[in-house]
Amino acid sequence: MKLSYRKYNDSELLLKIAGKKSESEKAFKVLHQRYMQNVFAYIKTLIRDHDESEDLFQEVFIRFYNNAKKGIEISNVQSYLIKIARNLCLNHKRDKKHQVEVEDWHRTVDDELNLEHKEMFNLVMRALEIIDEKYSEAFVLKKIEGFKFTEVAEILEITVEGAKTRVNRARQKLLTILDPYINDTVKRERIN
Amino acid sequence: MDKYQKIYDFLDGIGTEEDHKSLFDQLSSNPELASEFKKLIAIDSSVSSNNSFFQPSVDASNQLYEKLGFSNGLKTPFYLGFLNFLRNPKFISGLVGSFATIIILWSYFTFWGNNGGSKSDNLINGSFISKSSNFNENLPTSSLNVSNKKFDGSGNYETKSVSGNKNSPKEIINYINNNKYLFYENGSLKEFNDLNNLNEYINAKNINTDKSKIFDISDSKYSKPYGKGLDIRNSTLRLKSIDLVSNDFQYESINYLPKDLEFHFLSNLGERPGNGLEANSLSGKITYLPIKTSNYKFGFELAKENFLQNFERQIENERTEFFTQNPSLITIGLGARAYLFNFNETVHPYLQLFAGTAFTNEFNLYSGYFGRIAMGTEIESKYLPFNTNIGLQYTNLGTLYDNNVFNANTISFLIGVSF
């Protein structure tokens, strides 16, 4: 039955997507539910604009579905989705000659999160906007998406060492930018 | 080596315990590095695997599904969740690939109140007909309106009407049932088993028969309107009275309102000679159709349909009586359903046709037929293990019953589920 599709792993679901239409739809929906946050997080981090991010988000899954339907071999669904997302984001930026807009990250932060955590999250997101994209992207893949360095390297088509370097560079830059704010936060924590 | 490298490795979960111990030794002896460590921890932990912060809108997902031609996953109301118990594997395995439909026929039928006094009479025309009294034991008292039409000898009828409460319909009806003769005397009716007894009574009491008459109940006519819908029925008794002086006969009609409200949401008008009414009682049907996987599907059905028909029938001596029959038909047939279009990805309107044979307890497989045409919709639900079907169906069926052609038309609601 349809609810049991959640029990299938990615490979089994990919097989079903390539099969009958009724199975294909159910299998796709499960994969979509499974990875939509990852994909959207990645796109949102790169694109910033919420509406544009949602458009690209839909396009990613449409391309994924069409390819899966054709039976194209996909070894890692999450990584494959992020690769599609990356290509689309890069194309989108190139086409639009994208200018970074300052996005109010409060829109996306869960209101139930504690204020300081939320504040730090917003600070980091804003800082990521102004550092070199190749570093921020690697940082997002590693820290937000939770990919291993080998997967980050594969997605960015660089070496594992290169991936590590980019993530660490991002950290350094974030540290530089956020230093005064973090100091302030630390002081407040001590007072409390 | 970058002075932060050990911190980075620690944050990324790289390195051995010894490496981490070395890092903490370093941190304890280097306050500046410890401060940087704390800041880096704060940065990492604020975003670490926090993609739950990024939630696309429900609209974005629904639009995606629509673009791919999928149902958009509109949520089914929570109260339907209890139906999940139907997902028992054994239950489902027996029904996978099937479609079950229950026809609910509303046919609240109260034919003349209490029919409990029915009796079997196999002698009438050699057929098996259940002869019912059809008369309520507790009829409401109502006015007796007598409309006399007396033959005046010149080809005309003189009409006069009498109203009063002297004889309730209940009394008269009881007399009719017992096939007795009535003597109308000074505004009241007396009962006699036969005409001789009546004459003896008249002679013994030296009654002035100029003002008296007898009622030949055997020639009574009882009529009752029939129809569909909400119906307040007016009934008429037509009695043949014999004037003992002139030997003229005349008919007297008694009209009264039985106060029976009959609501025939569905009814069937049959073709029997002298038919009054046919009405469905509760019937059931199981239809097997696979779940929607393409724009059409084929299946079969098995149904049992019960009818109730009440009708007048004239027998040998021209007396009209009322009878009740309960034809119970079994239908077996094949059919197909075609989906017309996708209304909004979850709603699939369909047209459905079924046809086959219909037979009664007499079991002549080829004696009858049925045909059904239905329009409805199959509704998908994201959270239920089946689709819901609703529709409206027209059926025509006919068969031989009691040596007559029985034919009925019904309109019914379809409610069912698809697995």
> pLDDT means per 10 residues in chain A (192 residues)?
66 85 83 86 81 88 88 86 87 66 42 57 81 87 85 88 89 84 59 49
CA distance A177 to chain B (A): 11
The answer, for B3 touching chain A at a CB cutoff of 8 Å, is: no
Contact B407, B397 (CB under 8 A): yes
Which H/E stretch holds residue B316?
none
Closest to B167 in 3D by CA, of B200, B139, B189, B198? B189
Contact A80, A59 (CB under 8 A): no
Phi-psi region of A161 (alpha: psi -120 to 50; beta: other; left: phi over 0): alpha
A-chain residues within 8 Å CB-CB of B297?
none
Please give the model's pTM, rounded to 2 decimal places.
0.40
User: What's residue B97's pLDDT?
Assistant: 32
The answer, for A189 touching chain B at a CB cutoff of 8 Å, is: no
The residue written with tokens 């008919």 in the block is: B251
Q: Which SS3 state, helix, strand or coil, does residue A159 take?
A: coil
B-chain residues within 8 Å CB-CB of A40?
51, 54-56
| Residue in A1, A38, A172 closest to B51 by CB | A38
A-chain residues within 8 Å CB-CB of B56?
36-37, 40, 53-54, 57
C-alpha dist (Å) from residue B355 to A57, A127, B85, B299, B397:
50, 72, 34, 11, 9
The answer, for B304 touching chain A at a CB cutoff of 8 Å, is: no
| Residue in B43, B53, B385 closest to A1 by CB | B385
Chain-chain contact of B73 with A185 (C-beta, under 8 angstroms): no
Query: CB contacts < 8 Å between A and B, how many?
Result: 121
Chain-chain contact of B2 with A168 (C-beta, under 8 angstroms): yes
Q: Is B358 exposed, middle or buried (0-12, 13-18, 19+ CB in 10 A)?
A: buried
The answer, for B88 touching chain A at a CB cutoff of 8 Å, is: no
Contact B392, B375 (CB under 8 A): yes
| Residue in B43, B51, B291 closest to A178 by CB | B43
Which H/E stretch holds residue B18?
helix B17-29
Contact A126, A102 (CB under 8 A): yes
The torsion angles phi and psi of A57, rounded to 5 degrees, stand at -55, -45
Question: Which 377-406 residues of chain B touch chain A by CB within 8 A?
Answer: 382-383, 385
The answer, for A106 touching chain B at a CB cutoff of 8 Å, is: no
Q: Which tokens sit at B153?
A: 């000898």
A-chain residues within 8 Å CB-CB of B92?
1
Chain-chain contact of A54 with B54 (C-beta, under 8 angstroms): no
The pLDDT profile of chain B, 419 residues, written as one tens digit per residue, is: 566 788 888 888 787 778 878 888 888 888 888 888 888 888 887 776 566 667 777 778 888 887 787 766 544 344 433 444 344 443 343 343 333 333 333 222 222 222 222 222 222 222 222 233 333 333 323 333 333 334 344 444 444 343 333 334 444 555 554 566 767 666 566 777 777 777 787 778 776 655 556 666 555 444 443 333 333 344 455 566 666 666 666 666 555 444 333 333 333 333 333 333 344 445 677 777 766 667 788 888 888 877 666 555 544 444 444 555 667 788 899 999 888 876 666 788 889 999 999 887 665 655 788 999 999 888 877 667 777 888 888 888 777 766 666 677 777 777 777 76
Contact B163, B144 (CB under 8 A): yes
Most A CBs within 10 A among B33, B54, B61, hence the mutation to make, goes to B54
A-chain residues within 8 Å CB-CB of B50?
121, 144
The answer, for B64 touching chain A at a CB cutoff of 8 Å, is: yes
| Residue in A28, A62, A146 closest to B49 by CB | A146
CA distance B296 to chain A (A): 14
The answer, for A65 touching chain B at a CB cutoff of 8 Å, is: yes
Closest to B372 in 3D by CA, of B351, B400, B390, B342? B351
Chain-chain contact of B49 with A28 (C-beta, under 8 angstroms): no
Contact B74, B344 (CB under 8 A): no
The answer, for A69 touching chain B at a CB cutoff of 8 Å, is: no
Instruction: Give the Cα separation of B386 and B90 in Å (integer).
Output: 15
C-alpha dist (Å) from residue B38 to A190, B2, B199, B243:
13, 17, 126, 123
Instruction: Give the Cα separation of B110 and B134 in Å (integer).
Output: 10
Q: Which tokens sit at B119?
A: 């009796």
Chain-chain contact of B46 with A123 (C-beta, under 8 angstroms): yes
The answer, for B232 touching chain A at a CB cutoff of 8 Å, is: no
The answer, for B161 touching chain A at a CB cutoff of 8 Å, is: no
Residue of chain B nearest A54, judged by CA positions: B60
A-chain residues within 8 Å CB-CB of B91?
none
Which H/E stretch holds residue A11?
helix A10-17
C-alpha dist (Å) from residue B392 to A179, B100, B369, B372, B373:
71, 15, 20, 10, 9
Instruction: Give the Cα separation of B170 and B255 in Å (integer).
Output: 12
User: What's residue B283's pLDDT?
Assistant: 65
Q: Which residues have a Cβ under 8 Å from the Cβ of A166 and sit 6 or more positions away?
A: A134, A135, A137, A138, A139, A156, A158
Q: Which residues have a Cβ under 8 Å from the Cβ of B379 and sit 6 or more positions away?
A: B346, B347, B348, B387, B388, B389, B390
CA distance B59 to chain A (A): 9
Instruction: Give the Cα separation of B56 and A102 in Å (integer).
Output: 19
The answer, for B65 touching chain A at a CB cutoff of 8 Å, is: yes
Instruction: Give the Cα separation of B260 and B95 in Å (integer).
Output: 44
Strand-pairing partners, residue B398, are B369, B407
What stretches of B191-336 show up as alpha helix (H) in DSSP?
195-205
The length of chain B is 419
Instruction: Give the Cα separation of B286 and B289 in Å (integer).
Output: 10
C-alpha dist (Å) from residue A174 to A127, A129, B231:
6, 10, 84
Instruction: Give the Cα separation of B30 and B304 in Å (integer).
Output: 90
CA distance A39 to chain B (A): 9
Q: Which tokens sit at B224?
A: 């009752």
Chain-chain contact of A40 with B55 (C-beta, under 8 angstroms): yes
CA distance B376 to chain A (A): 21
Question: Beta-strand (E) ranges in B85-177?
Answer: 99-104, 119-121, 129-131, 144-151, 157-164
